Structure 1
């Protein structure tokens, strides 16, 4: 009887966390949409974001050729998302055929170096996952048929 009560408590906690993460993802999407609308308005007014002649951000041009890029879920700043997309694109461009481990390592190293430890990356054409991540450190996207899950966890120092 005690085990069932513990399972119920754990199940309720898992459901509560899942709802919380879903709300964070939704808020991130709404903020991202608002930022994009603002940038579109600025471009229509003729303001230039990059100082160049076309009024577009340079990284937006780089990512235009990724027509098959799709964000599945995100709790990450748009600039960090673009960095992940660029890194994934660059790594995929150097591979004659998909090497999931090499792509995962490239993304992990890039984010560990740029944003500190502890980033984790899962790459594949078919996988399931359920992870806990640090606030602002989650991105799940696909490029063509390659799915990429990039997330950060908190790291606590070991006490010796």
Structure 2
């Protein structure tokens, strides 16, 4: 009887899946346009009244991306005013669309992750076509000082990035 050896398992390579660090926080957008005079102009009194009418509790425990879907000129105090209203509720606020907020939060989770269990290991970062390349850039920078070798792809057929 022949014994089959799983060469991938025997290689000692461990996988890091960036998907494990994807934030689970709900991300919503707040469009300033909806609170502008004619959708284009910040009139202080009207803007503040419009913002005061918002139930900010809907942003509780969410990440908020502030956007303006028109080419209006928004004075900086508007962002400060919005932050003051959102800060008791939102866990994160940025001047970006939801996609960019997601990427930023993802990078933060990866940056602050405890990666010490990868120390002196052979590590492959799993390939996923839908991940932003900046996540791979960050992962390589974080892992390089720790790992014995860094690879990209899958355990069975990795692309070697470096070996020590």
TM-score, structure 2 normalization: 0.23
TM-score, structure 1 normalization: 0.24
**Which structure has greater strand proportion?**
2
